[in-house]
């Protein structure tokens, strides 16, 4: 086979140091998780319990609901930013982008000041309705968690979506509208198909991130809303039951890696489609 | 260690050798991009490689530069075998379509890059960089950044950078295709002028633009599907293309199906429809193709001519283009602008000089 | 860009859509995020809005039990991101010359940790380094290692993406002009890569500054990072101080990100702009 020149690289020996880092920080620790779980006979014991199954169910429903919300919110905001921009829309879109750089629990904390039982919205409503009971109580439930995660992860869909919108040739839209297509028809017929790859890729990334979300749930402390990552913390740090924690971790890692495989498959598929 | 003196010394030892490809085959992951490519370029010669995209012309250039290693064959520069040599050790200057000026270096640093890489002293780097910039007429831009230059200026800097290392060989990889038509013509002339000032420089020019190749190159090689289809001196290749593909790729050509009747007074007698015409000599009988360029056809010439119906007339400013039909064959004719062009639907006679009409095999 | 609903007759639709977008932005972003800033300045807050504003919480957030957190977070973030950038760049450059199959396997190995839940990474480190042969539990090193584990994959991914986007002609021309491997790397490849290296560092640093899940599993008493301090403050009811420390965390993060972006833009980040110009 022909070797062809691919630009200067470092030789294979240079891999030693990064490989060592990977080994020490990830591979060795995770490799020890399995025997710890199996040594205590934990998987069999843990996976059958109602609390594990409830956590698995919560993890899945929250992740799916939040991902759906992210896609819808990103689509709505993206369409406005790209095709119906108001003055300052670019600035707002960049401001949302910086949310990616902020920790997820920051948003959770922010939500408690806005929607919490003593938050601005509830205080205002209580004054308005002359009542002492906070009317909005969704924040400390599954729905509150979902709404916060939507805020946190929407930029991960919005960013590729806006990039995809920018690729659409304006002439195509002008052509369609001069041929008599109304705005809704243009959105359905031209814009959405062009944005589908970005939505799929951003959505599957969202799913992966929401399944593993910890900070939001930890800060909100919603009663009865325990997900797999939270369960790992509870078992290990609160109950010192390491075999059980490791068993849950194995399940969580397995779920996460399958979602990662899905994400990569989506990306590969889209890249292959783009080549044709 | 591999300074500019190495290759130059070797060149002196084997005067006349510029670039040699001997049976070079390059494959990418099983697909053969260049097959058994053999071609010699004399020292000081400008050779253009042309061909449609995917024909292997860029692969040939990459094999010469060392970016693609052949699975078979030998590549030589100035008689020195460089087949297995790293790109850095070959002493080649390169100008690419995107210019690839290093955006983080000033113009003078860009031009001095190859000298700096060879460890030439700072002061000499600077002097030689400025001299090269002067050579291409942009010495005033030395302290600019590439992004502050126009396309044509970037192109000149790229050429100066390639020449600064005093290369044995200059590779031009579609260097003019990003330029406007007017600047492109000026740059082609500029390269011609530079070569006249450096007659020992061997230039390999890869392009898909046949006009560019014809106006710059001494010789032309035509590639097709990874193989060398034809090669020869530019004018000869244009006037007597050896194959149908060469005729159609290098300039426009009318290829008339004819039957060769025999030879008479050094000219071939051929039958085209009902007309008997004289063509450029050559042996063989049977069915051949008569190749005549659109501008070699003369309107209203009965001598060595045939009848055709006018199908379309297009005025193109300096010229008229006529679409004609003779029998089942479409024929294109261009002439300088006509005062009274024939009207579509009328019959005309067109003729040609037998010397302008070689015979080809129909393949 | 083309504007849909541009005509006069669709004006009501346009305003309805803008209204909906503004409402969503308020409900999801502007409201909560402005409130956390307001809360960090709140003197007393019994009604809908605070009665007066004060800097007090910032003073307390930087002096109380959590005085060392800013330092702990910045130090951890800097060390982990710098190491992640160095290792990620080395790995990406080393894999570059490898055969395609090895390149795929290597890339996957270095990128896969980005998909591992961070709590599990923390748990794994806790389990692995609480026993022989290597005892790290209770040290600062285990916190740095946790952050390295989490941010390395992202740094690697960002550098590799940058390498893939580098137009090959620059290196081809440089090699043709006689630049050998390390000279070429130093003078051409790395400067062209600078914007991506900056982005890789920034991504790693932002992730490290906000890291909570793995840190909470492994942190020793003397090395409490800001996210953990913020949780401790809010957990015991000092929510305004928590808000103040959160604002400090966000500001410190964005300040470092902005600084790196500026340095990169000045040093070698002209490549992209240059290409766009054509």
Chain C contact set for B161 (CB, 8 A): 173, 177
Name the band, by pLDDT with cuts 50, 70 and 90, for residue C6. Answer: low
> What is residue C271's predicted lDDT score, i.e. its pLDDT?
44
Q: For residue C9, what pLDDT is reported?
A: 67
Q: Does residue A173 lie in a domain region?
A: yes
For residue C133, cis peptide bond before it (omega within 30 degrees of 0): yes
Query: Which is it for the CA torsion C99, C101, C104, C106, positive or negative?
Result: negative
Q: Residue B7: is its pLDDT beyond 70?
A: no
Share of chain B above pLDDT 90, in %: 61
Total domains present in chain A: 1
pLDDT confidence tier of residue C2, bands split at 50, 70 and 90? low
- Would A101 be classed as within a structural domain? yes
Identify the CA nearest to A205 among candidates A157, A142, A246, A239. A157
Handedness of CA C101, C104, C107, C112 (dihedral sign): negative
**What tokens appear for A60 in the block?**
């899945």
**pLDDT reported for residue A88:** 86
- DSSP output for C98-139: S-HHHHHHHHHHHHGGGGS-HHHHHHHHHHHTTSSS---TTS
CATH number at residue A182: 1.10.3720.10
**Residue pair B11/B42 in contact by the 8 Å Cβ criterion:** no
Residue C273 has pLDDT above 70, yes or no: no
Average pLDDT over residues C108-117: 92
Could you tell me the pLDDT band of residue B6, with boundaries at 50, 70 and 90?
Answer: very low
Nearest to A5 among B30, B66, B71 (CB): B66
| pLDDT the model gives residue B20 | 93
The CA–CA distances, whole Å, from A92 to A147, C38, C120 equal: 20, 19, 35
Mean pLDDT across the stretch C74-85? Answer: 96
Q: How far lies A96's CA from each of A65, B94, B288, C217, in Å?
A: 21, 45, 72, 30
Share of chain A above pLDDT 70, in %: 96
Whether A2 and chain B come into contact, CB under 8 Å, resolves to yes
Edge-first strand order for the sheet with B46-50 is: B92-96, B169-173, B202-207, B46-50, B219-224, B227-233
Nearest to B168 by CA among B286, B82, B227: B82
Q: Are A72 and A248 in contact (CB under 8 A)?
A: no
Distance from CA of C275 to the nearest CA of B (A): 8
- Given an 8 Å threshold on Cβ–Cβ distance, is A2 in contact with B67? no
pLDDT over 60 (residue A276): no
Q: Is C185 on the interface with B (CB under 8 A)?
A: no
Closest of B100, B104, B170 to residue B135, by C-alpha: B170
What pLDDT, on a 0 to 100 scale, did the predictor assign at position B265? 82
With 60 as the cut, is the pLDDT of residue B12 above it? Answer: no
Range among A145-159, A176-190, A257-271 with highest mean pLDDT value: A145-159
The answer as to whether A14 is a domain residue is: no
* Chain position carrying tokens 């055969």: C99
Residue C216 reports pLDDT greater than 50: yes
Give the ranges where B54-173 is alpha helix by DSSP (H): 57-65, 107-117, 122-135, 151-164
Query: For residue A259, which residues of chain C lie inside 8 Å, CB to CB?
Result: 115
Touching C: which chains, 3+ CB pairs < 8 A? A, B
Q: Which residues contact B25 (CB under 8 A, 6 or more apart)?
A: B32, B34, B35, B36, B37, B70, B71, B72, B73
Residues of B in contact with C97 (CB under 8 A): none
Alpha-carbon dihedral sign for residues B298, B301, B305, B309: positive
If phi > 0 it is left, if psi is from -120 to 50 it is alpha, else beta; for residue B66 that is left
Which member of C180, C274, C277 has the closest CB to residue B88? C180
Distance between CA B103 and CA B164 in Å, rounded?
A: 18
HEC states along C202-231? HHHHHHHHCCCCCHHHHCCCCCCCHHHHHH
Q: If pLDDT is split at 50, 70 and 90, which confidence band does B3 have?
A: very low
Q: What's the confidence (pLDDT) of residue C7?
A: 64
A236 belongs to a structural domain: no
Q: What is the mean pLDDT of residues B85-89?
A: 89
Is B195:B189 a contact under the CB 8 Å cutoff? no
Of B305, B299, B230, give the one whose Cα is nearest residue B272.
B305
Strands B31-42 and B298-299: unpaired
The mean pLDDT of B75-83, rounded to a whole number, is 92
Q: In whole angstroms, give the CA distance from residue C186 to residue C167.
A: 17
Inter-chain contact B96–C172, Cβ cutoff 8 Å? yes
Which pLDDT belongs to residue C66? 77
Which residues pair with residue B307 across a beta bridge?
Answer: B349
Q: pLDDT tens digits for A235-247?
A: 999 999 889 999 9
Run of H or E including A262: helix A242-275
d(CA C217, CA C213): 7
Q: Which of C263, C251, C239 is nearest to C74 (CA)?
A: C251
Q: Which of B90, B117, B146 sits opposite C183 (nearest CB)?
A: B117
pLDDT per residue over C181-212, tens digit each? 889 999 999 999 999 999 999 999 999 999 99
Domains and CATH numbers, chain C: 2-53 (no CATH), 66-277 (1.10.3720.10)
- pLDDT tens digit string along B307-331? 999 999 999 888 999 999 998 899 9
| A9 touches B: beta carbon within 8 Å | no
pLDDT in tens, B168-198: 899 999 888 888 888 888 888 889 999 998 9
Whether the complex's predicted ipTM is more than 0.95 is answered with: no
Please state the rounded mean pLDDT for residues A86-90: 86
Mean pLDDT throughout B40-67? Answer: 92
* Probe site for chain B from A1, A2, A3 (most B CB atoms < 10 A): A2
Residue A171 near chain B (CB below 8 Å)? no
CB of A3 less than 8 A from some CB of B = yes
Round to whole Å and give the CA distance between C177 and C76.
43
Tell me the β-bridge partners of B219: B47, B233
3-state secondary structure of B93: strand
pLDDT in tens, A91-130: 898 888 888 888 999 999 999 888 988 888 888 888 888 8
From residue B355, alpha-carbon distances to A220, B46, B274, C273 in Å are 92, 27, 21, 55
Contact C95 A229 (CB under 8 A): no
Q: What is the pLDDT of residues C134-188, one digit of tens each?
A: 888 889 999 999 999 999 999 999 999 999 888 889 999 999 999 888 899 999 9
Question: Which pLDDT value is given to residue B10?
Answer: 44
Nearest to C90 among A10, A80, A166 (CB): A10
What residue ranges in A57-200 does DSSP mark as E strands? none
* Nearest CA-CA partner of B249 in B280, B278, B291: B291
Predicted confidence band of residue A197 (pLDDT cuts 50, 70, 90): confident
pLDDT score recorded for residue B251 = 86
C-chain residues within 8 Å CB-CB of B69? Answer: none
Confidence of residue A85 (pLDDT cuts 50, 70, 90): confident
Smallest Cα distance from B216 to chain C, Å: 23
Tokens for A20, please give them. Answer: 């060592």
Contact B100 C178 (CB under 8 A): no
Give the integer Cα–Cα distance in Å for A182 and A190: 11
Contact with chain B for residue C78, Cβ under 8 A: no
Task: Write the pLDDT tens digit of every residue in B147-160.
Answer: 999 988 999 999 99
Give the chain C residue whose CA is nearest to the CA of B111. Answer: C177
Residue B283 is predicted with a pLDDT of 65
Report the alpha-carbon distance of residue B241 to residue B287 in Å, rounded.
17
A3/B67 touch (CB, cutoff 8 Å), yes or no? no
Separation of alpha carbons A168 and C1, rounded Å: 10
Asked whether A84 and C14 are in contact (CB, 8 A), the reply is: yes
Structural domain for A190, as ranges? 62-225
User: B27–A1: do the CB atoms touch at under 8 Å?
Assistant: yes
Task: Please state the separation of Cα C271 from the chain's center in Å.
Answer: 23
Give the pLDDT score at B112: 95
Q: Above 60 in pLDDT, residue B1?
A: no
Question: Which pLDDT belongs to residue C212?
Answer: 94
- d(C-alpha B19, C-alpha B41), whole Å: 5
> Is residue A198 a part of any domain in this protein?
yes
What is the band of C14 on the pLDDT scale with cuts at 50, 70, 90?
confident
Instruction: Chain A: give the shortest CA distance to residue B348, in Å.
Output: 45
pLDDT digits (tens, 9 = 90+) for C223-248: 999 999 999 999 988 889 999 999 99
Which residue in B66, B69, B87 is closest to A2 by CB distance? B69
Q: How confident is the model at residue B332 (pLDDT cuts 50, 70, 90)?
A: very high
The reply to whether A245 falls in a domain is: no
Euclidean distance between CA atoms A145 and A226, whole angstroms:
11
Q: B63 in contact with A at a CB cutoff of 8 Å?
A: no
| B29 contacts on A by Cβ (under 8 Å) | 1
> Is some CB atom of chain B closer than 8 A to the CB atom of A5?
yes
- Tell me whether residues C96 and A7 touch, CB distance under 8 A: yes
The yes-or-no verdict on residue C274 having pLDDT over 50 is no
- What separation, in Å, do the N-terminal and C-terminal C-alpha atoms of chain B show? 51
Per cent of chain B over pLDDT 70 is 95
Once rounded to an integer, what is the mean pLDDT over residues B11-29?
Answer: 78
Bridge partners for C3 per DSSP: none
A96 touches chain C (CB under 8 A): yes
Flag whether A268 is in a domain: no
Q: With an 8 Å Cβ cutoff, is A24 touching chain C?
A: yes
- Sign of torsion over alpha carbons C33, C34, C39, C44: negative
CB contact under 8 A, A25 and C119: no
As a whole number, the mean pLDDT across chain B is 89
Burial class (CB in 10 A: 0-12, 13-18, 19+), A113: buried
The per-residue pLDDT for B362 is 72
CA B292, CA B247: separation in Å to the nearest integer?
Answer: 9
Is C277 a residue whose pLDDT tops 60? no
Distance CA B180, CA C28 (A): 50
The per-residue pLDDT for range B193-239, each reduced to its tens digit, is 999 989 999 999 999 888 889 889 999 999 999 999 999 999 999 98
The DSSP-derived string for B283-322 is ---EEEEEEE-GGG-EET--TTEEEEEEEEEEE-SSEEEE
Letter string b/e over residues B145-175, b meaning 16 or more CB atoms within 10 A of that residue's CB = bbbebebbbbbbbbbbbbbbbbbbbbbbbbb
Q: Is residue A124 part of a domain?
A: yes
Cross-strand pairs, B268? B263, B279
How many Cα neighbours within 13 Å face the side chain of A218?
28
State how far the alpha carbon of C180 is from the alpha carbons of A96, B2, B233, C187, in Å: 44, 12, 37, 10
C-beta atoms of C94 and A233 within 8 A:
no
């Amino acid at each position: 086979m022909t070797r062809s020149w691919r630009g200067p690289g470092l030789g294979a020996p240079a891999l030693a140091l990064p490989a060592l880092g990977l080994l020490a920080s990830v591979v060795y620790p995770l490799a020890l998780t399995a025997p710890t779980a199996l040594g205590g006979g934990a998987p069999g014991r843990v996976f059958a319990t109602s609390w594990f199954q409830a956590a698995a169910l919560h993890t899945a429903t929250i992740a799916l609901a939040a991902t759906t919300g992210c896609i819808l919110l990103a689509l709505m905001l993206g369409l406005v930013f790209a095709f119906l921009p108001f003055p300052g829309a670019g600035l707002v879109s960049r401001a949302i982008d910086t949310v990616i750089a902020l920790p997820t629990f920051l948003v959770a904390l922010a939500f408690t000041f806005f929607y919490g039982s003593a938050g601005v919205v509830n205080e205002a409503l209580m004054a308005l309705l002359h009542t002492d009971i906070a009317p909005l109580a969704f924040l400390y439930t599954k729905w509150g968690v979902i709404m916060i995660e939507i805020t946190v992860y929407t930029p991960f869909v919005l960013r590729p979506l806006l990039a995809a919108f920018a690729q659409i040739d304006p002439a195509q839209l002008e052509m369609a509208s001069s041929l008599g297509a109304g705005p809704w028809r243009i959105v359905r017929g031209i814009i959405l198909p062009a944005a589908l790859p970005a939505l799929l890729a951003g959505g599957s990334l969202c799913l992966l991130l929401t399944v593993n979300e910890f900070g939001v749930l930890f800060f909100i402390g919603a009663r009865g809303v325990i997900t797999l990552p939270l369960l790992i913390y509870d078992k290990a740090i609160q109950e010192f039951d390491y075999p059980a924690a490791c068993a849950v971790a194995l399940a969580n890692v397995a779920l996460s890696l399958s979602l990662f495989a899905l994400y990569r498959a989506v990306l590969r598929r889209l890249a292959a489609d783009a080549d044709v | 260690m591999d300074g500019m003196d190495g290759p130059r010394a070797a060149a002196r030892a084997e005067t006349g050798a510029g670039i040699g490809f001997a049976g070079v085959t390059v494959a990418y992951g099983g697909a053969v991009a260049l097959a058994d490519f053999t071609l010699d370029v004399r020292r000081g010669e400008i050779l253009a490689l042309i061909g449609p995209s995917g024909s292997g012309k860029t692969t040939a250039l990459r094999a010469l530069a060392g970016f693609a290693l052949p699975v078979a064959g030998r590549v030589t520069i100035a008689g020195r075998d460089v087949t297995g040599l790293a790109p850095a050790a070959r002493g080649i200057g390169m100008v690419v379509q995107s210019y690839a000026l290093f955006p983080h270096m000033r113009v003078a640093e860009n031009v001095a890059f190859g000298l700096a890489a060879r460890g030439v002293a700072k002061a000499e780097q600077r002097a030689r960089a400025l001299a090269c910039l002067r050579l291409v007429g942009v010495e005033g831009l030395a302290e600019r950044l590439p992004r502050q230059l126009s396309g044509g200026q970037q192109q000149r800097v790229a050429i100066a950078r390639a020449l600064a290392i005093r290369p044995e060989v200059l590779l031009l990889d579609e260097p003019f295709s990003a330029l406007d038509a007017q600047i492109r013509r000026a740059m082609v002339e500029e390269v011609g002028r530079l070569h006249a000032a450096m007659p020992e420089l061997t230039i390999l020019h890869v392009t898909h633009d046949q006009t560019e190749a014809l106006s710059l190159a001494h010789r032309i090689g035509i590639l097709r599907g990874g193989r060398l289809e034809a090669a020869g001196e530019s004018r000869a290749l244009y006037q007597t293309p050896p194959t149908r593909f060469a005729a159609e790729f290098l300039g426009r050509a009318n290829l008339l199906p004819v039957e060769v009747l025999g030879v008479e007074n050094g000219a071939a007698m051929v039958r085209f429809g009902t007309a008997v015409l004289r063509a450029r000599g050559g042996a063989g009988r049977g069915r051949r193709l008569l190749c005549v360029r659109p501008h070699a056809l003369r309107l209203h010439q009965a001598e060595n001519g045939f009848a055709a119906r006018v199908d379309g007339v297009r005025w193109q400013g300096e010229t008229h283009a006529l679409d004609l039909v003779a029998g089942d064959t479409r024929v294109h004719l261009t002439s300088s602008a006509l005062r009274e062009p024939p009207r579509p639907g009328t019959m005309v006679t067109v003729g040609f000089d037998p010397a302008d009409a070689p015979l080809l095999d129909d393949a | 860009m083309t504007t849909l609903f541009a005509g006069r007759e669709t004006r009501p639709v346009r305003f309805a859509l803008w209204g909906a977008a503004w409402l969503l932005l308020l409900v999801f972003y502007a409201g909560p995020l402005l409130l956390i800033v307001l809360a960090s300045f709140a003197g007393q807050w019994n009604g809908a809005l605070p009665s007066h504003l004060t800097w007090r919480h910032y003073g307390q957030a930087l002096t109380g039990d959590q005085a060392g957190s800013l330092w702990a977070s910045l130090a951890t973030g800097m060390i982990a991101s710098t190491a992640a950038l160095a290792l990620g760049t080395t790995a990406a450059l080393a894999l570059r010359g490898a055969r395609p199959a090895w390149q795929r396997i290597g890339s996957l190995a270095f990128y896969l940790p980005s998909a591992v839940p961070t709590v599990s990474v923390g748990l794994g480190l806790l389990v692995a380094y609480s026993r022989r042969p290597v005892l790290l539990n209770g040290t600062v090193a285990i916190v740095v290692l946790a952050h390295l584990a989490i941010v390395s994959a992202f740094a690697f991914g960002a550098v590799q993406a940058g390498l893939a986007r580098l137009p090959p002609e620059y290196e081809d021309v440089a090699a043709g002009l006689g630049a050998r491997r390390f000279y070429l790397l130093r003078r051409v490849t790395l400067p062209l890569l600078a914007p991506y290296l900056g982005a890789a560092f920034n991504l790693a640093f932002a992730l490290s500054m906000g890291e909570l899940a793995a840190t909470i599993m492994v942190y020793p008493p003397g090395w409490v990072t800001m996210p953990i301090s913020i949780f401790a403050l809010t957990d015991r009811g000092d929510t305004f101080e928590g808000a103040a420390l959160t604002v400090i965390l966000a500001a410190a993060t964005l300040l470092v990100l902005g600084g790196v972006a500026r340095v990169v833009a000045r040093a070698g980040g002209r490549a992209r702009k240059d290409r766009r110009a054509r």
